């Protein structure tokens, strides 16, 4: 009695696969062509290319150091899930536009796409982009940055390895040396 | 008779009424309009942030569709969503441009699960205020009528706090207070030096810092300093109906609980001058049925209590049950919310704290108590506050990227101190709950229409409190001092709505007598916020507890002596 449903699911899965492949193919050409004024926003929210962009922007914001970076903490996958299940259509468009704007900024400043530039250049791009958008109180960018932050610092890795988290503190100690506590608390 | 007593509503007031009535040997029916909740198993308090769906964020479209009003509450997230009604299913009406923020949940335990757990006594300055300045009517009780009941409910609930010896904020039977952190201690020293007529104390709260044998016997344990209280607490570390009064009532063997039963009307028998039946509609099947008891306690919370009374019309009470005075639904009050300031506290960068303390600090009322008014206003306000070091969440609005950002967020941010004012609201007849003549909800109840605005005095108090908050932070050496809120919150935002069936001496100007008993209907008692004759500026829940316990014992005495 479920055959109808599972058939539909299979068909949807196939279609999703097709979209994924198309996105992948488009990505190869787009990365060499995108110029100021062009956009990659005309497609599903996460084509392979835009997901790659999301991964590298997140990792540039919160890179691997002595602890895991955004990718290893699962931030890009978290944001993809949030946009699919939590965000409104408006948010999906806004966040996609932020990613595209970073890519455009990379092209206009350095004449190459974000994904093909060296890591130091990516950092330069994000420093400039972040400073300008924060100074402008840009709501879409703040929402994006918040997604990266919550994705990282509220992940198990971010909360327990980068910061400090006790599910059950068991006590309140009101005033003690920071060195004794260690790092900032992951929850507030 | 089915029961000796019926209690309508299982929140803080209803839980207390049920406990006291059961302990007096009365067969008691507790009627809750929402679903059943099982203490512990229905809470999500053991989920780490990464275990919550969407890290605790409720999907944006769902918020817009179902929780447009409820999501304005401080603690709305995916782990607390179950404690708030869907606005799409539970509409109410307000006049164009006059917002009233009605935040509520329909489930066993009501808002005892989501309250801020702040517990303060009213003082004679509060009980005497109306008589003194002529606003509203005189309270029919004074502090001395309630002090032993405050003692009783504090000991049972477990209230942590520090004795201060202040006339405007009487001390209670406190468990060990939680400590102030370094920024708060520094602020206290500086403020009390610059403003000797003001005091900083730890927020008094219904948390077990040192559980007694009585608490432990009920299955409650010490507060674990998790600060996930609003999800429900499996330790029973804070007072709620489910952690405390319900198990106490249940162990007597006298309690029956019915959930998913929405009280529509109270049927009145004029010959006997009694409520003869409580009529309910089943929330799931929509079928009607009724229950009988010798005495009825209405603890449905302020707005629904008015709704039930106004909907219970009879030949003898054409304006609604117990409403000969035409005061039912009037004098709706809340506390003014949305005033305060925040500033940066220099220093202490090598100091931090461990654990998550579930209360803040309090600056008790000083205006018109220890200091004269600075303007044309009566009454006053208190400030709730907190000193802390913000964590990673401060970064969404600050520039910074890469390894530098990561390194910076590994340390807590600089200390900050915030003060949030709670100002008294005067009773005014025009602030009113009425029933819409035509529109009904999915269960057939007439929709409530809430028309409530702040008056001149509230706005004056708010303006002065805003100014004082900035001044105090500056006086204490804070920098980057700025307003905490962009504007006043609408009435209702404090979630302290009260006043719609006030107590008073005179049956022609009040609904309830000094025992919370309806002047006109001897077997009707109302002990939720609707009984309040004035609002004070203290969080009101402890007063509802004391009034509920007092009224329940009065009713039990009268029933025993055959006078009821």
Residues in a beta bridge with B419: B341, B385
Mean pLDDT calculated for residue range B203-229: 98
In angstroms, the CA A135 to CA A148 distance is 19
Query: A174 to chain B: which residues are within 8 Å by CB?
Result: 178-182, 353, 357
For residue B490, what are its two tokens? 């609408």
| Residue of B55 and A33 predicted with greater confidence | B55
Please state whether beta strands B288-291 and B361-363 pair in parallel, antiparallel, or not at all (unpaired): unpaired
Is the Cβ pair B50, A159 closer than 8 Å?
yes
Is the Cβ pair B400, A130 closer than 8 Å?
yes
Confidence band for A8, pLDDT divided at 50, 70 and 90: very low
From the list B48, B225, B401, the residue facing A123 with the nearest CB is B401
Based on C-alpha coordinates, what's the Rg of chain A? 20
Residue A41, pLDDT > 50, answer no
Is the Cβ pair A187, B49 closer than 8 Å?
yes
CB contact A84 to B (< 8 Å): no
Plot region of B102 (φ>0 → left; ψ -120 to 50 → alpha; else → beta)? beta
Q: Confirm if B339 and B459 have CB atoms less than 8 A apart.
A: no
Query: B354 to chain A: which residues are within 8 Å by CB?
Result: 169, 171-173, 176, 181
CB contact A6 to B (< 8 Å): no
Query: A153 to chain B: which residues are within 8 Å by CB?
Result: 391-393, 409
Is the Cβ pair A186, B353 closer than 8 Å?
no
For residue B153, what are its two tokens? 């409910």
Query: B57 to chain A: which residues are within 8 Å by CB?
Result: 82, 86, 150
Rounded to a whole number of angstroms, the distance from the CA of A134 to the nearest CA of chain B is: 6
Rounded to a whole number of angstroms, the distance from the CA of B157 to the nearest CA of chain A is: 20
User: What tens digit of pLDDT does each residue of B51-74 get?
Assistant: 999 999 999 999 999 999 999 998
Question: Alpha-carbon dihedral of residues B469, B159, B120, B247, nearest 10 degrees?
Answer: 130
Is the Cβ pair A186, B391 closer than 8 Å?
yes
Confidence band for A188, pLDDT divided at 50, 70 and 90: confident
Mean pLDDT calculated for residue range B248-275: 97
Q: How many CB atoms lie within 10 A of CB B340?
A: 24
Query: B357 to chain A: which residues are within 8 Å by CB?
Result: 172, 174
Please state whether beta strands B274-282 and B255-258 pair in parallel, antiparallel, or not at all (unpaired): unpaired
Rounded to a whole number of angstroms, the distance from the CA of B246 to the nearest CA of chain A is: 26
Rounded to a whole number of angstroms, the distance from the CA of A48 to the nearest CA of chain B is: 22
* Long-range contacts (CB closer than 8 Å, 24 or more residues apart) made by B58-67: B58/A86, B59/A85, B59/A86, B59/A87, B60/A86, B60/A87, B60/A88, B60/A90, B60/A91, B61/A88, B64/A88
Q: Confirm if B83 and B107 have CB atoms less than 8 A apart.
A: yes
Query: A154 to chain B: which residues are within 8 Å by CB?
Result: 49-50, 55-56
Q: Confirm if A48 and B387 have CB atoms less than 8 A apart.
A: no
In angstroms, the CA B450 to CA B554 distance is 32
User: What tens digit of pLDDT does each residue of B412-440 get?
Assistant: 999 999 999 999 999 999 999 999 999 99
ipTM score assigned to the predicted complex: 0.94
What is the length of chain B? 564
Residues in a beta bridge with B371: B367
Is the Cβ pair A142, B397 closer than 8 Å?
yes
E strand residue ranges, B306-380:
336-344, 351-354, 361-363
Residue A33, pLDDT > 80, answer no
CB contact A57 to B (< 8 Å): no
Residue A30, pLDDT > 60, answer no
Mean pLDDT calculated for residue range B460-467: 98
How much helix, strand and coil, in percent to the nearest 5, is found in chain B? 30, 20, 50
Residue B18 CB-density burial (10 A; 0-12 exposed, 13-18 middle, 19+ buried): buried
Rounded to a whole number of angstroms, the distance from the CA of A126 to the nearest CA of chain B is: 7
Is the Cβ pair A87, B60 closer than 8 Å?
yes
Is the Cβ pair A63, B226 closer than 8 Å?
no
Query: A169 to chain B: which residues are within 8 Å by CB?
Result: 224-226, 354-356
Mean pLDDT calculated for residue range B268-278: 96
Residue A19, pLDDT > 90, answer no
Mean pLDDT calculated for residue range A85-89: 95
Residue-level pLDDT at A28? 33
Residue-level pLDDT at B449? 98
Which H/E stretch holds residue B217?
Answer: helix B213-217
**DSSP one-letter code for A115:** G
Is the Cβ pair A86, B402 closer than 8 Å?
no
**DSSP one-letter code for B138:** -
CB contact A97 to B (< 8 Å): no
A contact residues 17-46, partner B, Cβ 8 Å cutoff: none
Query: A171 to chain B: which residues are within 8 Å by CB?
Result: 225, 354-355
User: What tens digit of pLDDT does each residue of B144-161 get?
Assistant: 999 999 999 999 999 999
Q: Give A13's contacts (C-beta < 8 A, 6+ positions apart).
A: none
Query: B49 to chain A: which residues are within 8 Å by CB?
Result: 154, 159, 165, 186-187
Q: What's the whole-number average pLDDT of chain B?
A: 98
Q: Confirm if B443 and B283 have CB atoms less than 8 A apart.
A: yes
In angstroms, the CA B322 to CA B300 distance is 16
Is the Cβ pair A176, B393 closer than 8 Å?
no
Is the Cβ pair B391, A87 closer than 8 Å?
no
Is the Cβ pair A65, B226 closer than 8 Å?
no
In angstroms, the CA B131 to CA B136 distance is 8
User: What tens digit of pLDDT does each residue of B344-384 get?
Assistant: 999 999 999 999 999 999 999 999 999 999 999 999 999 99
Q: Provide φ and ψ at A31, rounded to 5°.
A: -60, -25
Q: Confirm if B174 and B150 have CB atoms less than 8 A apart.
A: no
Residue-level pLDDT at A29? 33
Which H/E stretch holds residue A139?
Answer: helix A139-153
Interface size, chain A vs chain B, as Cβ–Cβ contacts under 8 Å: 167
Q: What is the pTM of this model?
A: 0.93
Residue B36, pLDDT > 90, answer yes
Query: A124 to chain B: which residues are within 8 Å by CB?
Result: none
- Helix A75-85 and helix A139-153, axial crossing angle in degrees, nearest 10: 120
**Residue B91 Cα distances to A21, A116, B70, B451, angstroms:** 47, 54, 11, 14
Residue-level pLDDT at A49? 86
Largest CA distance in chain B: 81
In angstroms, the CA B348 to CA B412 distance is 11
Residue-level pLDDT at A45? 60
User: What tens digit of pLDDT does each residue of B281-293 get?
Assistant: 999 999 999 999 9
Residue-level pLDDT at A47? 82
From the list B226, B351, B398, the residue facing A177 with the nearest CB is B351
Q: What value, to the nearest 5°, has the Cα angle with vertex B254 and ends B37 and B516?
A: 85
Is the Cβ pair A88, B60 closer than 8 Å?
yes
In chain A, the residue whose alpha carbon lies closest to the alpha carbon of B357 is: A172
Confidence band for A6, pLDDT divided at 50, 70 and 90: very low
| Percentage of residues of chain B with pLDDT beyond 70 | 100
In 3D, which of B287, B244, B241 has the Cα closest to residue B262?
B287
User: What tens digit of pLDDT does each residue of B74-98 get?
Assistant: 899 999 999 999 999 999 999 999 9
Is the Cβ pair B402, A123 closer than 8 Å?
yes
Query: A179 to chain B: which residues are within 8 Å by CB?
Result: 350
Q: Give B526's contacts (C-beta < 8 A, 6+ positions apart).
A: B297, B298, B299, B305, B501, B511, B512, B516, B518
């Amino acid at each position: 009695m479920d055959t109808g449903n599972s058939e539909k699911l299979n068909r949807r899965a196939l279609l999703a696969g097709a979209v994924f492949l198309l996105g992948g193919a488009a990505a190869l050409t787009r990365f060499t062509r995108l110029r100021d004024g062009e956009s990659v926003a005309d497609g599903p929210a996460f084509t392979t290319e835009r997901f790659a962009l999301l991964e590298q922007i997140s990792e540039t914001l919160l890179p691997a150091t002595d602890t895991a970076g955004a990718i290893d903490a699962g931030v890009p996958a978290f944001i993809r899930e949030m946009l699919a299940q939590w965000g409104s259509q408006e948010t999906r468009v806004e966040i996609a536009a932020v990613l595209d704007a970073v890519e455009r900024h990379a092209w206009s400043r350095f004449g190459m796409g974000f994904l093909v530039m060296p890591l130091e250049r990516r950092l330069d791009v994000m420093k400039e982009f972040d400073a300008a958008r924060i100074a402008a109180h840009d709501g879409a960018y703040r929402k994006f940055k918040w997604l990266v932050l919550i994705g990282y610092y509220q992940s198990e890795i971010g909360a327990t390895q980068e910061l400090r988290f006790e599910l059950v503190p068991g006590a309140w100690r009101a005033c003690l040396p920071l060195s004794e506590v260690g790092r900032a608390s992951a929850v507030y | 008779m089915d029961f000796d007593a019926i209690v309508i509503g299982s929140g803080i007031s209803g839980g207390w009424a049920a406990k006291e009535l059961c302990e007096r040997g009365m067969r008691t029916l507790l009627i809750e309009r929402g679903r059943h909740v099982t203490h512990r198993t229905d809470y999500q308090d053991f989920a780490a942030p990464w275990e919550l769906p969407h890290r605790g964020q409720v999907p944006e479209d769902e918020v817009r569709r179902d929780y447009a009003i409820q999501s304005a509450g401080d603690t709305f997230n995916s782990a607390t969503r179950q404690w708030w009604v869907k606005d799409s299913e539970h509409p109410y009406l307000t006049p164009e441009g006059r917002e009233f923020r009605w935040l509520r949940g329909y489930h066993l335990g009501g808002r005892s699960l989501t309250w801020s757990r702040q517990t303060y006594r009213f003082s004679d300055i509060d009980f005497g205020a109306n008589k003194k300045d002529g606003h509203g009517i005189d309270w029919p009780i004074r502090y001395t009528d309630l002090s032993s009941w405050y003692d009783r409910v504090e000991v049972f609930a477990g209230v942590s706090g520090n004795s201060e010896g202040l006339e405007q904020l009487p001390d209670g039977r406190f468990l060990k207070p939680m400590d102030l952190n370094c920024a708060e201690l520094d602020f206290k020293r500086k403020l009390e030096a610059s403003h000797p007529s003001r005091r900083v104390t730890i927020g008094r709260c219904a948390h077990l810092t040192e559980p007694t044998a009585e608490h432990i016997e009920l299955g409650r344990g010490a507060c674990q300093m998790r600060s996930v209280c609003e999800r429900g607490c499996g330790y029973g570390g804070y007072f709620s109906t489910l952690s405390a009064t319900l198990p106490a009532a249940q162990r007597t063997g006298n309690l029956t609980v019915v959930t998913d039963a929405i009280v529509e009307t109270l049927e009145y028998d004029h010959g006997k001058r009694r409520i003869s039946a409580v009529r309910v509609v089943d929330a799931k099947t929509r079928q009607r049925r009724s229950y009988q008891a010798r005495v009825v306690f209405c603890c449905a919370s302020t707005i629904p209590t008015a709704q039930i009374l106004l909907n219970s019309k009879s030949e003898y009470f054409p304006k609604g049950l117990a409403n000969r005075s035409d005061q039912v639904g009037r004098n709706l009050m809340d506390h003014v919310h949305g005033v305060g300031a925040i500033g940066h506290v220099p220093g202490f960068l090598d100091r931090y704290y461990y654990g998550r303390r579930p209360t803040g600090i309090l600056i008790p009322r000083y205006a018109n108590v220890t200091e004269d008014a600075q303007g044309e206003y009566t009454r006053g306000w208190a400030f709730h506050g907190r000193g802390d070091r913000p964590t990673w969440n401060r970064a969404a609005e600050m520039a910074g990227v890469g390894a530098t950002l990561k390194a910076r967020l590994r340390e807590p941010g600089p200390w900050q101190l915030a003060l949030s004012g709670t100002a008294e609201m005067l009773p005014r007849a025009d602030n009113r709950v009425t029933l819409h003549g035509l529109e009904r909800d999915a269960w057939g109840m007439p929709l409530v229409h809430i028309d409530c605005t702040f008056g001149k005095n509230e706005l004056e108090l708010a303006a002065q409190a805003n100014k004082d908050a900035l001044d105090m932070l500056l006086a204490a050496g804070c920098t980057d001092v700025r307003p905490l809120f962009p504007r006043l919150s609408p009435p209702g935002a404090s979630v302290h709505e009260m006043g719609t069936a006030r107590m008073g001496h005179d049956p022609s100007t009040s609904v309830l007598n000094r025992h919370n008993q309806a002047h006109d209907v001897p077997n009707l008692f109302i002990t939720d916020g609707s009984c309040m004759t004035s609002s004070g500026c203290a969080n009101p829940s402890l007063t509802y507890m004391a009034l509920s316990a007092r009224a329940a014992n009065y009713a039990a005495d009268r029933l025993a002596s055959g006078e009821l």
